[in-house]
Structure 1
């Protein structure tokens, strides 16, 4: 597996602390200055999310047909799941034996494609199959790459995490990773945990909203979003590294 951006494997201390239960908190997201997220802020939030693309012998990414502004265009395919990318690679090599999977961070990829001022290129995201199944159990008509969040009741405040006095709104690519957080929360606050509701939204919606929102209340929440890649995906990446 080709690794374009080695920094994606840097430690994730916040995720470790979450699993350890030391950062759990609850309550409303703290208010921040009302403004839509800028490009730099969006990229920063995406940088710790590993994704996979398939490159051909010319170093160009695998593309698929998609409808953009009522026109069919070829867009790069982005795999959230490394194992799925590896499986698809076998088919890609039937046409191009030199094809390979590349590991990139979503922030850099997003910046160099979607945010490219000269040639903006949309991306087609392929979700992790099991996580999509989990999302459909939460929302039967769900489409896209799922991000799982928790809140106190269907309309209550979102469950937050706290670090150095700063509140963050965690969104998980893995339903099981969110459950690990909820299990720790239940140990420390069983009564409040009984009211927790798991919800799901799509990565595609989040990216669009971060770039285009003009709702001050929503912008304040988006400022505090923190994305957590799937633990299984991180373990897969580590398993591919040479010993």
Structure 2
């Protein structure tokens, strides 16, 4: 059956293996509806910088592309809360007055996606720049270099997944009756799942390998590609991110960042990071 073959080609995964027949593979190939994409992204907390009025802290950068003139408004979206806080701390040193009202605010990745989709095509729309965790970028570079690829710079946010077994199939987790393909923001969290699998299947230890894909590409294909296997994918946030968000919930912390008042075309408000975390990985096994 088709399953992950087309998705693998889009993501540049070499030698992608078919999954065996399953109920989801028998569905007609239709793109995921936007509400389903939003629900898939909603449990993922990311972090932005907001001002005293709860608006996005915006950078003005030159527009890119042929024929583009003027500046674009860009909001930074950090994968790591610690990286976001480090940015605020640096800003306080460089420009204390500007940084006086700056704060780190968690927001759902689903809401960032929704804002981007609703403002697509508008000439003065707010753009988002994802800032990956430096440690995970280095982990991704190391993995790619181990496969013989020459990697000087890694663009975008890396996500990690694993595969192995005699058919080189993807490792999945079982959530109730659903078999899901987890993509981890943190390589170390995936390594725990891989180690558990190796304990369960020691004869397959040498076949398991970790691969890297790109968050931005995943966001692109979720809403555009006609592959039912996309509904099996889940994004697993780092424990650090989930623990930080949980620490805020009892006090009801979190704001709804909006475009700052100086923006000519305001974006919809984004809701705070979700209370429901992404599912914790169950014992892993290669996708059948």
For the superposition of Structure 1 and Structure 2, which TM-score range results when normalised by the shorter chain? Answer: 0.7 to 0.9
Deviations 1:104-142 (A, max 9, x none): 111122212333468554311000111111011112433
Whether 1:28 and 2:19 are equivalent positions in the alignment is yes
Q: After alignment, is 91-100 or 184-193 more displaced? A: 91-100
Distance of aligned partners of 1:68 and 1:34 in 2 relative to their CA distance in 1, 3 Å threshold: farther
Tell me what 2:144 maps to.
Answer: 139
Whether 1:113 and 2:116 are equivalent positions in the alignment is yes
Tell me what 1:81 maps to.
Answer: 80
Whether 1:173 and 2:176 are equivalent positions in the alignment is no
Q: Residues 88 and 99 of structure 2 are in contact (CA less than 8 Å); yes or no, is this contact kept in structure 1?
A: no
TM-score between the two structures when normalised by the length of structure 1: 0.77
Supply the distance in 2 between the matched residues of 1:127 and 1:79 (Cα, whole angstroms): 6
Distance of aligned partners of 1:150 and 1:66 in 2 relative to their CA distance in 1, 3 Å threshold: farther
Uncovered stretches (5+) of structure 1, i.e. residues with no partner: 1-26
Per-residue deviation at 1:80? 0.6
Supply the distance in 2 between the matched residues of 1:154 and 1:69 (Cα, whole angstroms): 46
Supply the distance in 1 between the matched residues of 2:78 and 2:62 (Cα, whole angstroms): 15
**Where do 1:222-237 residues align within 5 Å?**
222-237=230-245
Tell me what 1:128 maps to.
Answer: 133
Q: What is the root-mean-square deviation in Å for CA atoms of aligned residues?
A: 2.6
Tell me what 2:101 maps to.
Answer: 98
Deviations 1:68-119 (A, max 9, x none): 5544522211011001111111233422311111111111222123334685
Distance of aligned partners of 1:149 and 1:110 in 2 relative to their CA distance in 1, 3 Å threshold: same
Distance of aligned partners of 1:155 and 1:197 in 2 relative to their CA distance in 1, 3 Å threshold: farther
For residue 112 of structure 1, give the secondary structure of its aligned residue in structure 2. Answer: helix
Deviations 1:195-214 (A, max 9, x none): 11110011001001112224
Q: Residues 165 and 207 of structure 2 are in contact (CA less than 8 Å); yes or no, is this contact kept in structure 1?
A: yes
Distance of aligned partners of 1:166 and 1:131 in 2 relative to their CA distance in 1, 3 Å threshold: same
Q: Residues 84 and 104 of structure 2 are in contact (CA less than 8 Å); yes or no, is this contact kept in structure 1?
A: yes
Distance of aligned partners of 1:100 and 1:130 in 2 relative to their CA distance in 1, 3 Å threshold: same
Q: Residues 72 and 126 of structure 2 are in contact (CA less than 8 Å); yes or no, is this contact kept in structure 1?
A: no
Q: Residues 151 and 196 of structure 1 are in contact (CA less than 8 Å); yes or no, is this contact kept in structure 2?
A: yes
Q: Residues 169 and 221 of structure 1 are in contact (CA less than 8 Å); yes or no, is this contact kept in structure 2?
A: no
Distance of aligned partners of 1:127 and 1:117 in 2 relative to their CA distance in 1, 3 Å threshold: closer
Tell me which structure has the larger Cα radius of gyration.
Answer: 2
Residue 161 (structure 1) aligned to one of 159, 173, 176: 173
Whether 1:48 and 2:56 are equivalent positions in the alignment is no
Supply the distance in 2 between the matched residues of 1:240 and 1:130 (Cα, whole angstroms): 25
